[in-house]
Amino acid sequence: MEKSLAEIKAEFKQLNISAREDKKGIETFIEQYSSDERKQIKELVEKAEKKLKALDTEMERMEQMFAFERKYSDYSFICGIDEVGRGPFAGPVVACGVILPKDCELLYLNDSKKLSEKKREELYPLIMENAVSVGLGMSTNERIDEINILQATYEAMREAVSKLDPAPDLLLNDAVTIPGLDMKQVAIIKGDAKSASIAAASIVAKVTRDHMMEEYDSIYPEYGFAKNKGYGSEEHRKALKEYGPTPIHRKSFIGNWI
């Protein structure tokens, strides 16, 4: 018995492109209804074909994102590491290290700055669920003022690495070599857009810090931290001039604004 348009539309709505296993469902839909002559069904098949193409494109992109992980596959535990929050006027710098499984099938990992907030929030629990290990490190605004942002960032990165279990035997870093660590390190320029492990670390660090700044917004609502995340937006600069700094501001960053 021929299925109704409503039934087939309902099936189409169930088609996703969020994971590799979605491909089989899309292919089955196309195969099942490609010979249907009804105009609206043909349109749905065309849309399904576009979904399939988009999923194939993403899978191909992710193959490239794992190129460094494949290159160094002789290492047992490869950690991608990245930081978020070097430039803001307020709040900590947060670093993250992520060890992904060698058979990782996550899609859409990318430099956190290239992803929407919604996409980062979707990927965060998937990374936490699938990762072999995740380590977070942080340097406060006081520590940043004390030793400078670069050294504070290195401290946060070392802390993140120290919290990984198992310990990594290779670090893939976004552009830097972290002093004080004895495992092999590979610095990759724009690594958060080239390595899946670094991208995963970028996303976790970004979501973690963003949530912290949203909590600070409830304590210091005048500064717009939920929106600007501590960066020097116009709203933030005006609030600094009007209200002065909070306990989470970096004194070494805001001298021209108070």
DSSP output for 97-157: EEE--TT--------GGGS-HHHHHHHHHHHHHH-SEEEEEEE-HHHHHHH-HHHHHHHHH
Backbone dihedral angles phi then psi of residue 192, each to the nearest 5 degrees: -70, -15
239: which residues sit within 8 A by CB, 6+ positions away? Answer: 222, 223, 224
Q: Cα 214 vs. chain centroid, distance in angstroms?
A: 17
Cα separation of 240 and 227, whole Å? 15
Kindly report, residue by residue over 5-30, the tens digit of the pLDDT: 999 999 999 999 999 999 999 999 99
Structure token pair of residue 168: 């990594």
pLDDT band with cut points at 50, 70 and 90 for residue 1:
low
E strand or H helix at 39 = helix 39-65
What's the CA gap between 108 and 115, in Å, rounded?
Answer: 9
Q: What is the pLDDT of residues 107-145, one digit of tens each?
A: 999 999 999 999 999 999 999 999 999 999 999 999 999
CB 94 within 8 A of CB 174: no
pTM, to two decimals = 0.94
Q: What confidence tens digit (pLDDT) does each residue in 36-88 have?
A: 999 999 999 999 999 999 999 999 999 999 999 999 999 999 999 999 999 99
Please count the other Cβ atoms lying within 10 Å of the Cβ belonging to residue 118.
8
Taking only the tens place, the pLDDT of each residue in 187-203 is: 999 999 999 999 999 99
Judge whether residue 34 has pLDDT over 80: yes
pLDDT, the chain, mean: 96
The pLDDT tens digits of the residues spanning 146-195 come to 999 999 999 999 999 999 999 999 999 999 999 999 999 999 999 999 99
pLDDT at 24: 96
* pLDDT of 222 over the 90 cut: yes
Please check the confidence at residue 255 and state whether its pLDDT lies above 90. no
